[in-house]
Amino acid sequence: MDIKFLGTGGAFDTDYLNSAALLEFRGMNLLIDCGFTVFPALVRKNLIQKVNHIILTHLHNDHCGSLANLLLYKSIVEKSPKPVIIYPSEQFKQQLCVFLEIQVKDPDKYADFVPLEQFDGITCVDTYGKHSEGMQTYSYIFEDEEKRIAYSGDLSRPEVLFDRLHKMPDIKTCVFHDITFTPDNVGHTYYKKLLPYMNGVEMYGYHCDPTKNPSDNPIRLVFYQQELMA
């Protein structure tokens, strides 16, 4: 299982591109989120042809804004088989289809939609309303024989993800968590709220402007980890 980030910025940190990652997992090349900077980043890095599965944490534009471009490109330019979009709930699939129908008319022509239950080793954590009021959001946990990766998505209440992780068998776990350095940011997790959860896991922060990182923050930022960047 290998994860490479395509960007690590927050919604407005365009210098650091939208937070998204390409995960090699159980034979898939799974794109986690597809915000408005992701399609051009994939093309620029020559990685777009690798993407064969897609999973989204939520439908804010910095997480899904270039999905239609990616689907159209795969069909029209690459002429590759339809990518699989893994969806965590019927309701989320409906929302995603409404979003795509406006842009591509018939989403089924460009992607195969498959429910998450059909994939071994992926757990979704429903984080509804814990990033933005009334907004459906998810965290995901990916697991193979030797390792577990947790990906928070946008989340201001880290306890929901860590409660789930603490109920799982003890294996090497790496947590990628959104992070903010502003205590009054209610949509994301203030770094000090993550400190109690650092024991026993490898933790990295993303979805931030790394230049704002306070000197007393012990959580490593994905942005500075060369080996985690695509």
Tokens 């239609």 found at: 68
Bridging pattern class, strands 202-206 and 173-178: parallel
In this complex, which beta carbon is closest to Zn ion, that of residue 8 or of residue 123? Answer: 8
13 lies in the site for Zn ion, by CB under 5 A:
no
Q: In the complex with Zn ion, which residue's Cβ is closer, 56 or 122?
A: 56
177 counts as binding Zn ion under rule CB under 5 A: no
Residue ranges with strand state E in the chain: 2-7, 20-25, 28-32, 53-55, 84-87, 112-115, 122-126, 138-143, 148-151, 173-178, 202-206, 220-221
Q: Which stretch binds Zn ion (CB under 5 A): 79-87, 94-102, 151-159, 191-199?
A: 151-159
Does 62 bind Zn ion (CB under 5 A)? Our answer is: yes
Burial label for 26, CB within 10 Å (0-12, 13-18, 19+), is middle
**Choice between 60 and 177, CB closer to Zn ion:** 60
**Burial state string for 59-90 with b = 16 or more CB within 10 A and e = fewer than 16:** bbebbbbbbbbbbebbbeeeeeeebbbbbbee
Residue of the chain from 16, 17, 154, 210 that contacts Zn ion (CB under 5 A): 154
Which range in 87-95, 98-106, 108-116, 146-154 contacts Zn ion by CB under 5 A?
Answer: 146-154
Q: Which stretch binds Zn ion (CB under 5 A): 9-17, 43-51, 93-101, 193-201?
A: 9-17
Residues 6+ apart with CB under 8 A from 65: 18, 34, 35, 36, 38
For residue 60, the minimal CB distance to Zn ion (Å) is 3
Which C-beta is closer to Zn ion: that of 143 or that of 154?
Answer: 154
Identity of the residue, 149 or 155, whose beta carbon is nearer to Zn ion in the bound complex: 155
Report 21-60 residues binding Zn ion (CB under 5 A). Answer: 60
Binding-site ranges for Zn ion (CB under 5 A): 11, 60, 62, 154
